[in-house]
Amino acid sequence: MNSSLRVSFVGAGNVAGHMAMAMLRKGLTISNIISLKRQNSVHLADMVGAHSIDHLDDITKNTDIIIVAVKDDSIADIAAKLKTELIVAHTSGTVELPILNSVGKNTGVFYPLQTFSGDTPISFREVPILIEGSNTQTTDILTELAEMISDKVLLHSSEERKRIHLSAVFACNFTNHLLAIAQDLLTCNECSFDLLHPLIKETMRKALAENPHDSQTGPARRGDTDVIDNHRFMLNRHPMYLEIYNLITQSIQETKYDG
Amino acid sequence: MNSSLRVSFVGAGNVAGHMAMAMLRKGLTISNIISLKRQNSVHLADMVGAHSIDHLDDITKNTDIIIVAVKDDSIADIAAKLKTELIVAHTSGTVELPILNSVGKNTGVFYPLQTFSGDTPISFREVPILIEGSNTQTTDILTELAEMISDKVLLHSSEERKRIHLSAVFACNFTNHLLAIAQDLLTCNECSFDLLHPLIKETMRKALAENPHDSQTGPARRGDTDVIDNHRFMLNRHPMYLEIYNLITQSIQETKYDG
């Protein structure tokens, strides 16, 4: 492991912040940080002992790797303005590697498969990092860097990464939306969402300990038509929730379960 | 608290088993157990020091409360065969109290809002128990019994209980199905579901610590049409998953978020 690697960040949001902190804890040098929101880059630079810079040209000074941790639709803008033979990697799950082609020969992807909140510390060792590089040396160095902060580093093409990201949308963004619907239905009935916490925790524990396909329960799995009809009746004032109810019920019923 | 209460169970499945064990730990006497599957009632009776009985008439011997912990569509059968002035309560989230009218005057509901697996121990103290009784005395005694094993005992009418159960279906059965879809999509790409574990854990942690409405992220929330179009393209071989993708994406987009 090469803790002499120096890393700079374009972007100072949640991804850059959590990643820079994890690298700092491993003894890496964080060189430069730039952000459209200057106060964000000043704040993060203060925390990790880096320079907060104002001009993108300065990002290449005294550094080995530049990580572009900005919103997906801002990566092309950065790529158009940056020209360097240093390694430049973006952190997106959905943007293809060639978006960085104009930057130089040594480009890559450094995608952490996790959702990051501002203040909540993340154990980065458990976060999978998906790596892609434009050449072997770049891939090797990005892998080495990733392995310093994570126990789960994997090589995947842009196409594979996009498919993994799609599954993550189902598992996380969509499950969260269903929890929000449950919260809304409870609130309509003047109940607190807390009431479901133990059930949600146990459902997730079971899905992770066994596997979600095998641990499916509920009226749709059992084919309990009386209960399903009554649920539909109760949802008559929530047409969108009723549509979701009908579609997921149908999908569960069309799933083949053993036994 | 009255630990001299004696409880008997019709049914010896996961709900009866976990409940009887929790009551036993609090010093209650478990008197009789009967199940359609005789070996289940013998096994559970052995574990909790109860009598395994073969005739439903014997369930009323040396007991104060009878808990009918059977599948929803079997409750009516039991009710038709049982006639007693003892307290008889069922454990269903969806079945209305009057289903027990033919049994006697003292009937109720004792519904644990949790999913129970065979071997996994549950901390019953955290499990909400929803109580309903046909008269004040029955309600009071069922509440007293519930408070011995749980810190979260609530009175709810049959109508309220059914609405809470509906929200639980969204939060648990449906979220689990989305996790199964994510698992399926990953397997199609020769990836392990383990890859998503840290992301799922963090999504759930965030939804429970903050609230799921406020913690929504993802392409649909951001209105990222390029990513959404690409996801749709990748789902062309999974028509049902595509329908679910489109509907939940639409639902997220129609949700009003602050800020």
Q: What is the pLDDT of residues A152-204, one digit of tens each?
A: 999 999 999 999 999 999 999 999 999 999 999 999 888 999 999 999 999 99
Looking at the structure, do residues A50 and A81 belong to the same domain, yes or no? yes
Option in A73, A94, A215 nearest B230 (CB): A94
CB contact under 8 A, B173 and A201: no
Q: Which chain B residues contact residue A172 at CB under 8 A? A: 196, 199-200, 203, 217-218
**What average pLDDT does this structure show over A202-227?**
92
Q: Which chain B residues contact residue A203 at CB under 8 A? A: 115, 171-172, 175-176
CB contact under 8 A, B202 and A114: yes
Nearest CA in chain A to B241: A251
Inside any domain, residue B97 = yes
Query: Is residue A203 a contact partner of residue A196, using CB atoms and an 8 Å limit?
Result: no
CB contact under 8 A, A174 and B255: no
Helix (H), strand (E) at residue A6: strand A6-10
Query: Is residue A24 a contact partner of residue A146, using CB atoms and an 8 Å limit?
Result: no
Q: Pick out chain B residues at pLDDT < 70.
A: 1-3, 259
Distance CA B93, CA B106 (A): 19
- How many C-beta atoms surround the C-beta of residue B86 within 10 A? 17
Whether chain A has a CB inside 8 Å of the CB on B125: the answer is no
Full residue range of the structural domain in which residue A48 is found: 6-156
Q: Which of residues 56-95 of B touch A (CB under 8 A)?
A: 72-73, 94
Looking at the structure, do residues A108 and A210 belong to the same domain, yes or no? no
State the complex-level ipTM: 0.94
Looking at the structure, do residues A22 and A99 belong to the same domain, yes or no? yes
Looking at the structure, do residues B170 and B147 belong to the same domain, yes or no? no
Name the DSSP class of B119. S
Percent residues over pLDDT 90 in chain A:
90
Inside any domain, residue B78 = yes
Query: Is residue A180 a contact partner of residue A244, using CB atoms and an 8 Å limit?
Result: no
Query: Is residue B158 a contact partner of residue A186, using CB atoms and an 8 Å limit?
Result: no
Q: Which chain A residues contact residue B75 at CB under 8 A? A: none
Q: Which chain A residues contact residue B201 at CB under 8 A? A: 204, 208
Looking at the structure, do residues B49 and B142 belong to the same domain, yes or no? yes
The 8 Å CB, 24+ separation contacts for B236-244 are B238/B185, B240/A250, B240/A251, B240/A254, B241/A170, B241/A251, B241/B181, B241/B184, B241/B185, B243/A247, B244/A170, B244/A174, B244/A247, B244/A248, B244/A251, B244/B178, B244/B181
Instruction: Report the pLDDT value the prediction gives residue B29, as an integer from 0 to 100.
Output: 97
Q: Which chain A residues contact residue B207 at CB under 8 A? A: 176, 179, 200
Looking at the structure, do residues A145 and A199 belong to the same domain, yes or no? no
Q: Which chain B residues contact residue A245 at CB under 8 A? A: 169-170, 174
- Write out pLDDT tens, residues A61-72: 999 999 999 999
CA distance B149 to chain A (A): 15
Looking at the structure, do residues B93 and B220 belong to the same domain, yes or no? no
Q: Which of residues 22-61 of A touch B (CB under 8 A)?
A: none
Whether chain A has a CB inside 8 Å of the CB on B191: the answer is yes
3-state SS, residue A96: coil
Distance CA B40, CA B160 (A): 32
Q: Which chain A residues contact residue B255 at CB under 8 A? A: 177, 180
Inside any domain, residue A259 = no
**What average pLDDT does this structure show over A90-112?**
97
Instruction: Report the pLDDT value the prediction gives residue A2, as an integer from 0 to 100.
Output: 60
CB contact under 8 A, A215 and B162: no
Inside any domain, residue A43 = yes
Helix (H), strand (E) at residue B50: none
Looking at the structure, do residues A191 and A213 belong to the same domain, yes or no? yes
Q: Which chain A residues contact residue B235 at CB under 8 A? A: 166
Inside any domain, residue B259 = no
Q: How many residues does chain A have?
A: 259
Helix extents (H) in A169-238: 175-188, 197-209, 219-222, 225-234
Distance CA A17, CA A40 (A): 10
Inside any domain, residue A114 = yes
Q: Which of B156, B188, B213 is the last residue of a domain?
A: B156
CB contact under 8 A, A200 and B198: no
- Average model confidence (pLDDT) across chain A: 95
Instruction: Report the pLDDT value the prediction gives residue A4, as an integer from 0 to 100.
Output: 84
3-state SS, residue A219: helix
Helix (H), strand (E) at residue B245: helix B239-254
CB contact under 8 A, B173 and A219: yes
Closest alpha carbon to B128 in B144, B115, B140, B112: B112
3-state SS, residue B252: helix
- pLDDT band with cut points at 50, 70 and 90 for residue A259: low
Distance CA A129, CA A117 (A): 17
CA distance A56 to chain B (A): 26
Instruction: Report the pLDDT value the prediction gives residue B123, as an integer from 0 to 100.
Output: 87
Looking at the structure, do residues B94 and B198 belong to the same domain, yes or no? no
Looking at the structure, do residues A95 and A129 belong to the same domain, yes or no? yes
Examine the pLDDT at A123 and tell me if it is beyond 90: no
- Write out pLDDT tens, residues B188-228: 888 999 999 999 999 999 999 988 999 899 999 999 999 99
Looking at the structure, do residues A78 and A104 belong to the same domain, yes or no? yes
Query: Is residue B229 a contact partner of residue B242, using CB atoms and an 8 Å limit?
Result: no
Inside any domain, residue B66 = yes
Tell me the CATH number at A118.
Answer: 3.40.50.720
Option in A73, A120, A172 nearest B200 (CB): A172
Distance CA B138, CA B18 (A): 22
Distance CA A153, CA A113 (A): 10
Q: Which residue has the higher pLDDT, B183 or A4?
A: B183
CB contact under 8 A, B212 and A252: no
Distance CA A32, CA A86 (A): 14
Closest alpha carbon to A34 in A23, A48, A44: A44
Examine the pLDDT at A143 and tell me if it is beyond 90: yes
Q: Which of A123, A156, A189 is the last residue of a domain?
A: A156
CA distance A136 to chain B (A): 23
Q: Which of A92, A123, A156 is the last residue of a domain?
A: A156
- Write out pLDDT tens, residues B16-44: 999 999 999 999 999 999 999 999 999 99
Instruction: Report the pLDDT value the prediction gives residue B2, as an integer from 0 to 100.
Output: 60
**What are the tokens at B100?**
């027990």
What is the number of domains present in chain B?
2
Query: Is residue A34 a contact partner of residue A10, using CB atoms and an 8 Å limit?
Result: yes
- How many C-beta atoms surround the C-beta of residue B9 within 10 A? 32
**What are the tokens at A95?**
């943007």
Looking at the structure, do residues A125 and A174 belong to the same domain, yes or no? no
Inside any domain, residue A1 = no
